[in-house]
């Protein structure tokens, strides 16, 4: 019954993992899930209060404007100005999204035509590739290699590929490698996009999930970025709001108008009272963000030091709640699916095989820090001496 395009999609990574989890759980093994990037910490109370108040207002029971309610777009613009020193018009340079995944998935449909190339990082967030295939475009995997600090080597993209490319996806702080990018990289990427007529789509889902005083840059801190770039922001990871479904796109107004036109034909924006609460999240007291990061940081240190003690070679990342780890030499296999399955069967700890994020993710696995700290301690205990 499925269309040819749908049949072309690889099986959804977490559906495969779920099936294996069920088999192991049925044997009575206690599972510790370190596979999914979904914070266990609840949304802060002041944001929930704002939601309850907003839900009582009858105007919020009606359709919101297609591009989002004014209050949320203004809050997003204020956030960009205050935290990122970037001035963006709340009317034309901010667009409300029903979670950033939604906006990201529209990109190949609205900024490219069937047969065009979309440049995607590998390993990378699977939505870039899946959406490209669904739009009839051709995803081209740019390898993110450890020796290049997990940054794509733009000069290595073949000329004929580049000629057909319309969009360049980047994502820093990065999922799944937890790598960060500095100003030089963003500057080079902006210059590259100008030279080759590309739209940069920068996925900034983890821009606020940072440690040790590290501040991740917005691409708009680079001169000329606004002419060639869209940045995708999400409230999910910053404020522990994955279930609320709220984000925004910021940047180039023609690109935003294109996404907005597409959206107006298929959805009617995020729920108005969720947007109103989101405005409070973005402009209210930010200490909840700091508190969340402190929790992740503690978990990061527990996991990193334990892995290093038991034969892995990992460094503590400056951002994101992931640990990206090469499968240790001593392991019987370098096949990330086989390895993750063996870890699950032996220990009940669920980790994500790197190949699920693309060809160049093979040989590594991803640990997520979004389970309670005592469960991470228990996982560490079970993993010690495994390889
Ligand atoms: C979680 C995640 C998103 C999606 O976030 P939502 O706003 O919840 O849709 C986008 N990109 C990356 C890299 C993510 O990890």
Asked whether residue 80 carries a pLDDT value surpassing 90, the answer given is yes
pLDDT (tens digit, 9 = 90+) per residue, 191-208?
A: 999 999 999 999 999 999
Average pLDDT over residues 106-123: 98
Q: Is 121 close to ligand 1, i.e. is its CB under 6 Å away? A: no
Give the pLDDT band of residue 13 (cuts 50, 70, 90).
Answer: confident
Q: Which two tokens stand for residue 63?
A: 């359709």
Q: Is 242 close to ligand 1, i.e. is its CB under 6 Å away? A: yes
End-to-end CA distance of the chain: 44
Higher confidence at residue 384 or residue 71?
A: 71
CB neighbourhood size of 355 (10 A): 21
> Which pTM value belongs to this model?
0.97
Asked whether residue 15 carries a pLDDT value surpassing 90, the answer given is no
Q: Is 260 close to ligand 1, i.e. is its CB under 6 Å away? A: no
Three-state SS annotation for the chain: CCCHHHHHCCCCHHHHHHHHHHHHHHCCCCCEECCCCCCCCCCCHHHHHHHHHHHCCHHHHCCCCCCCCHHHHHHHHHHHHHHHCCCCCCCCCEEEECCHHHHHHHHHHHHCCCCCEEEEEECCCCHHHHHHHHCCCEEEEEEECHHHCCCECHHHCCHHHHHHEEEEEECCCCCCCCCCCCHHHHHHHHHHHHHHCCEEEEECCCCCCECCCCCCCCHHHCCCHHHCEEEEEEHHHHCCCHHHCCEEEEECHHHHHHHHHHHHHHCCCCCHHHHHHHHHHHHCCCHHHHHHHHHHHHHHHHHHHHHHHCCCCCCCCCECCEEEEECCCCCCCCCHHHHHHHHHHHHCEECEEHHHHCHHHCCEEEEECCCCHHHHHHHHHHHCCCC
| Predicted local distance difference test score (pLDDT) of residue 16 | 82
pLDDT (tens digit, 9 = 90+) per residue, 143-175?
A: 999 999 999 999 999 999 999 999 999 999 999
Q: Which atom of ligand 1 is nearest to the CA of 247?
A: 7
Cα-to-centroid distance, 205 and ligand 1 (Å): 5
Q: Is 103 close to ligand 1, i.e. is its CB under 6 Å away? A: no
Cα-to-centroid distance, 279 and ligand 1 (Å): 19
Q: CA 63, CA 114: separation in Å to the nearest integer?
A: 33
Q: Is 205 close to ligand 1, i.e. is its CB under 6 Å away? A: yes
Asked whether residue 249 carries a pLDDT value surpassing 80, the answer given is yes
Contact (CB, 8 A) for 131 and 167 = no
Give the pLDDT band of residue 386 (cuts 50, 70, 90).
Answer: confident
Contact (CB, 8 A) for 282 and 79 = yes
Residue nearest to atom 4 of ligand 1 (CA): 101
Q: How far is CA 51 from the centre of its chain?
A: 24
Which residues does residue 352 pair with via DSSP β-bridges, in sequence order? Answer: 366
Q: Which two tokens stand for residue 147?
A: 């020796």
Q: CA 160, CA 180: separation in Å to the nearest integer?
A: 29
| Predicted local distance difference test score (pLDDT) of residue 25 | 93
| Predicted local distance difference test score (pLDDT) of residue 84 | 86
pLDDT (tens digit, 9 = 90+) per residue, 250-298?
A: 999 999 999 999 999 999 999 999 999 999 999 999 999 999 999 999 9
Residue 99 region, left (φ>0) first, then alpha (ψ -120 to 50), else beta?
Answer: left
Share the mean pLDDT of the chain. Answer: 96
Residue-range domains of the chain with CATH: 4-42+288-383 (3.90.1150.10), 45-283 (3.40.640.10)
Contact (CB, 8 A) for 370 and 243 = no
Cα-to-centroid distance, 359 and ligand 1 (Å): 20
Asked whether residue 227 carries a pLDDT value surpassing 90, the answer given is yes
| Predicted local distance difference test score (pLDDT) of residue 65 | 97
| Predicted local distance difference test score (pLDDT) of residue 14 | 80
Asked whether residue 17 carries a pLDDT value surpassing 90, the answer given is no
| Predicted local distance difference test score (pLDDT) of residue 10 | 84
Which percentage of the chain shows pLDDT scores above 90? 94
Cα-to-centroid distance, 216 and ligand 1 (Å): 16
Asked whether residue 29 carries a pLDDT value surpassing 80, the answer given is yes
Strand 247-251 relative to strand 229-234, pairing: antiparallel
Q: Which residues, in sequence order, are CB contacts of 4 under 8 Å at separation 6+?
A: none
Which percentage of the chain shows pLDDT scores above 70? 100
What's the maximum distance between 2 C-alpha atoms anywhere in the chain?
62
Q: CA 288, CA 282: separation in Å to the nearest integer?
A: 11
Q: Which two tokens stand for residue 46?
A: 């002041």
Asked whether residue 86 carries a pLDDT value surpassing 80, the answer given is yes
Q: Which two tokens stand for residue 181?
A: 């990018």
By most ligand atoms within 8 Å of CB, the mutation choice from 43, 124, 125, 170 for ligand 1 is 125
| Predicted local distance difference test score (pLDDT) of residue 44 | 97
Angle, CA of 250, 254 and 259, to the nearest 5°: 65
CB neighbourhood size of 83 (10 A): 14
pLDDT (tens digit, 9 = 90+) per residue, 332-376?
A: 899 999 999 999 999 999 999 999 999 999 999 999 999 999 999
Q: Which atom of ligand 1 is nearest to the CA of 124?
A: 13
Cα-to-centroid distance, 100 and ligand 1 (Å): 6
């Amino acid at each position: 019954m499925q269309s040819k395009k749908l049949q072309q999609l690889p099986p959804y990574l977490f559906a495969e993992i779920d099936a294996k989890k069920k088999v192991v759980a049925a044997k009575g093994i206690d599972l510790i899930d370190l596979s999914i990037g979904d914070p266990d910490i609840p949304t802060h109370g002041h944001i929930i209060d704002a939601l309850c108040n907003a839900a009582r207002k009858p105007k919020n029971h009606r359709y919101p404007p297609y591009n989002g309610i004014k209050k949320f777009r203004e809050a997003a613009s204020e956030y960009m100005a205050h935290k990122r020193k970037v001035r963006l018009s709340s009317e034309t340079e901010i667009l409300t999204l029903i979670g950033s995944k939604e906006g990201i998935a529209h990109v190949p449909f609205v900024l490219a035509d069937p047969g065009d190339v979309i440049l995607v990082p590998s390993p990378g967030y699977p939505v870039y590739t899946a959406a490209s295939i669904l739009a009839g475009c051709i995803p081209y995997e740019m390898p993110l290699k450890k020796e290049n600090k997990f940054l794509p080597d733009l000069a290595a993209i073949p000329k004929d590929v580049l000629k057909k490319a319309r969009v360049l996806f980047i994502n820093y702080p990065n999922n799944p490698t937890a790598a960060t990018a500095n100003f030089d990289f963003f500057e080079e990427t902006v210059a590259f996009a100008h030279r080759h007529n590309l739209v940069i789509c920068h996925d900034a889902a983890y821009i606020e999930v940072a440690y040790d005083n590290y501040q991740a840059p917005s691409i708009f801190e680079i001169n000329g970025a606004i002419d060639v770039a869209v940045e995708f922001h999400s409230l999910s990871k910053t404020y522990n709001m994955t279930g609320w479904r709220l984000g925004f796109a910021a940047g180039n107004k023609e690109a935003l108008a294109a996404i907005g036109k597409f959206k107006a034909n298929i959805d009617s924006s995020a729920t108005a009272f969720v947007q109103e609460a989101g405005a409070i999240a973005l402009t209210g007291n930010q200490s909840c963000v700091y508190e969340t990061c402190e929790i992740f940081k503690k978990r990061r240190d527990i996991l990193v030091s334990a892995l290093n003690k038991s034969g892995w070679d990992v460094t503590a990342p400056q951002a994101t709640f992931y640990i990206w780890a090469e499968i240790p030499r001593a392991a019987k296999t370098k096949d990330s699916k086989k390895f993750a399955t063996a870890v699950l069967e032996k220990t009940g700890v669920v980790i994500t095989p790197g190949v699920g994020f693309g060809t160049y993710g093979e040989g590594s696995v991803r640990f997520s820090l979004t389970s309670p700290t005592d469960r991470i301690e228990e996982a560490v205990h079970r993993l010690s001496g495994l390889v």
